[in-house]
A and B are shown apart, each in its own frame.
Chain A
Amino acid sequence: MKILKIILLLIVVLFSTTLNANEDKLQIEITKNLRCLICQGQSIYDSDSEFATSLKLLIKNKIKEGFSEDQIYNFLTDKYGDWILYDPKFNKNTYLLWFLPLLIFLIGGAIVSKKLIKFKK
């Protein structure tokens, strides 16, 4: 009976630590994707400014409240704008940013293939 209790206790402890570890991992992942708005070239994860420490805490609380990663990003962009995200969202202001590399690649490819065809001839 005693052994059973110990095993049960161990399972509970293990389960709760993995749960916490998952939450921490998510928090780190999110804070690495956020730009510290008052620091120069640092993420929220890297920064120890007052703003960043509060934001880390807020994210931790939101995760505990059951917010998903996207919900947290939306919450923060509502307050601070898209600039807070390192990875800009796809919208009418950023479509050029997303499509331009692809466009350049296609145009480059077209030029190269045209030259190759000419060369073969």
Chain B
Amino acid sequence: MIKKITPFLIVSAFLLVFIIFYKGLNKTNLYNPKIEIKNIPNFFALSFDTQEKIDSKKIFDENKYYLFNIWASWCVPCRDEHSILSNLSQNNNLEIIGLNYKDKINNAKKFLDDLGNPYKKILIDQDGTIAIEWGAFGVPETFLIYKNEIVKKFIGPLNENSLSEIEKAIE
């Protein structure tokens, strides 16, 4: 009896391990927290153009949609998503606010000169702490905001799918 069961047990153990590892291979390593912060954080940041201190409460106060985009000139995926941001900047229902993340101001200016400036306002996050207040992991990351609440969060570069998703939401 035992002799009959042993090969069966060995095979099923191997099969189990194989299935677990195979499933693990397909699993994404990108961690996405289950809790989504709804309310936008309050913070002070320097303005990219004027170097003035701006209160975040005064940025998202109008009754319209805002797209808050964290970007940097050194970030390659930001370059990829820039055309989508430029596309969205044509839309009157939406105001795009940028957060320049751990960047050199001259490089950032050159980046915008080369690719165009889709942002209504740009804030500076020199040490990356403002991005953490937003629960962000890095660059690029984008938040769709309506009435001081985060409607949708996009981790990583925006693509055609996210573009249509945003357009659908702000219609």
Contact = CB atoms under 8 A, between A and B. Distances in A.
Interface of A: 37-38, 40, 50-51, 53-55, 57-58, 61, 78-81, 83
B129 A57 contact: yes
B135 A51 contact: no
Main secondary structure of the interface of A (DSSP, over half): helix
25 contacts: A37-B137, A38-B31, A40-B29, A50-B128, A50-B138, A51-B128, A51-B137, A53-B128, A54-B102, A54-B128, A55-B132, A57-B127, A57-B128, A57-B129, A58-B129, A58-B132, A78-B35, A79-B33, A79-B132, A79-B134, A79-B135, A80-B33, A80-B135, A81-B33, A81-B34
Contacts, number: 41
A106 to B, nearest CB: 27
Interface of B: 29, 31, 33-35, 37, 102, 127-129, 131-135, 137-138
Q: Most chain-B Cβ atoms within 10 A of its Cβ — which of A54, A58, A78? A: A54
A38 B137 contact: yes
Contact of A83 (B33, B128, B133): B33
A40 B31 CA distance: 11
Contacts of A37: 31, 137
Given A37-B31, A38-B31, A54-B102, 20 more contacts: A37-B137, A38-B137, A38-B138, A50-B102, A50-B128, A51-B128, A54-B127, A54-B128, A54-B131, A55-B132, A57-B127, A58-B132, A78-B35, A78-B37, A79-B133, A79-B135, A80-B33, A81-B33, A81-B34, A81-B35
